[in-house]
Amino acid sequence: MSQESSFLAALERHRATFAILDQYRGEAEQLLELTRQTLSKGGKVIFLGNGGSAADAQHLAAEFMVRYKAERGPLASIALNTDTSILTAHPNDYEFESVFERQVQGLGKPEDLVIGLTTSGQSENVNRALTAANELGASTVALTGRDGGKVKDIAKLSIIIACEETARIQEAHMFIGHWLCEAIDGVIVSGGLQS
């Protein structure tokens, strides 16, 4: 396969994934409402994930804290996968499967929203963090893919990108994340949220 045809094939797989995103509009609107409620109550949005999903979690937390497009105050958010001391100390003393769970137990509050990103839905550390958040009474959302894996039965809201290709799932997650940032900016500008 030539480089050009490889590029076009990847672009076609991207288009095919994005062509089905409209079926997730209801779940996306629920995510927006949960986020609005969380921030209105003085809660924070907690993102977490592994690998590429960790990078996406960190990216979205930064968009909330700094800004997306609108000039506005910071929105309370954090990515649990950014502290290298915690990410190395906890597995050294305990195990990696509970590294996010422990942070949710220490930082989480009932008014928070915990968003776990896992393309497979099988990431044990994400699943345990969402379980801990549920036990706290926090809102929980999974951005996942494939068939949703175990996480779909843990999170109170799951957005499952029905695709088998990790890169395409992550691209869809970032589209949803960027849309959420834009929509929250719109809520703030219209006076629907104090920040």
Residue 76 lies in a domain: yes
As given in the structure block, the two tokens for residue 89 are 């100390």
DSSP string, 129-192: HHHHHHHHT-EEEEEEETT-TGGGGTSSEEEEE--S-HHHHHHHHHHHHHHHHHHHHHHHHTTS
Residue 85 lies in a domain: yes
Taking residues 130-151, what's their average pLDDT?
A: 99
- Type and span of the H or E element at 26: helix 25-40
Print the domain residue range for 108: 3-189
pLDDT-derived band at 194 (thresholds 50, 70, 90) equals low
The model's pLDDT over 7-47, given as tens digits with 9 standing for 90+, comes to 999 999 999 999 999 999 999 999 999 999 999 999 999 99
Q: Per the structure, how many domains does the chain have?
A: 1
The model's pLDDT over 45-91, given as tens digits with 9 standing for 90+, comes to 999 999 999 999 999 999 999 999 999 999 999 999 999 999 999 99
User: What pLDDT score does 192 carry?
Assistant: 79
Residue 89 lies in a domain: yes
Alpha-carbon distance 25 to 156, whole Å?
17
pLDDT-derived band at 143 (thresholds 50, 70, 90) equals very high
User: What pLDDT score does 36 carry?
Assistant: 97
Residue 108 lies in a domain: yes
Alpha-carbon distance 187 to 31, whole Å?
13
Taking residues 118-126, what's their average pLDDT?
A: 99
State what percent of residues in the chain have pLDDT above 90: 93
Residue 194 lies in a domain: no
Residue 195 lies in a domain: no
CATH, residue 11? 3.40.50.10490
> What pTM value is reported for the model?
0.95
Q: For residue 40, give the amino acid letter.
A: S
Q: What angle do CA 172, 175, 180 make, to 5 degrees?
A: 130
Residue 121 lies in a domain: yes
- Measured between alpha carbons, how far apart are the two ends of the chain, in Å? 51
State what percent of residues in the chain have pLDDT above 70: 98
pLDDT-derived band at 193 (thresholds 50, 70, 90) equals confident
